[in-house]
Amino acid sequence: MRSLPLPLALTARLTPVAVLACAGWALTSGPDTDAQDSAGKETRKTQPEKTSGPSGAAVSKTYAAAPAPCTSVATKTVTSLVPGAKTAGKEIPSTDTELRRTCSWNALKGYDYRWLDVSFEITESDQAAQTSYKERLKEKSGGGAVPGLGDDGYSVVNLTTEDKQQTREGTVIARVANALVVITYNGSDFESKKAPGTDVINTGAIKAAKDAVAALRKSSG
């Protein structure tokens, strides 16, 4: 197989995750809307929501800490969505692992590139999580509800093109009580310059989200 020169922006994406962290990686996985490279990955900002209850009143939280993200998605799911990736994944450094944790998988197999991020964010209350959820939907408009995914679920898929290379990225956001689960899944074909179909990306992102939501719920028990 001939060697394949990767686009400059993709090469930047494949730099060590430590560089991404220093650049301000505090998820969501995968992206916020400030910048996006050719593999469809955006920098995201996810300051935890702080909502205080009445003075002296204790706020009851279903989830006090984020679960381990790299074991939240079934091995068979990772294998099917990111062929060639190490199934253990790579956890992204966080300033507070109780409130926010992210795991990333990516691989280039032949000419096909895939990237998957799974993130958990813990807020102070259900209301804070609802507020953050609604704000994210405004940033990621154009999608639709995902019935049965947590207390609230949403999915959107977008196509971008850079240097004639297409990348299709899906984002799934789920709210479960005071926690948010954010999935980012994207892909490109560097031989055809095309991207995987919308259904492929959307279905894959939702599958990963269902695994992650199940892992979150299990962590509270």
49-78 confidence digits (pLDDT tens): 444 444 444 567 899 999 999 999 999 999
Exposure class string for 149-173: b at 16+ Cβ within 10 A, else e = bbebbbbbbbebebeebbbbbbbbb
- Tens-digit pLDDT profile for residues 140-165: 989 999 999 999 999 999 999 999 99
* Predicted local distance difference test score (pLDDT) of residue 221: 66
Q: What is the pLDDT of residue 38?
A: 39
Model pLDDT, residue 220: 79
Neighbouring C-beta atoms of residue 203, cutoff 10 Å: 16
Domain boundaries, the chain: 8-47+65-219
Confidence at residue 68, expressed as pLDDT on a 0 to 100 scale: 96
Percentage of residues of the chain with pLDDT beyond 70: 72
Of 39 and 155, the structure prediction assigns the larger pLDDT to 155
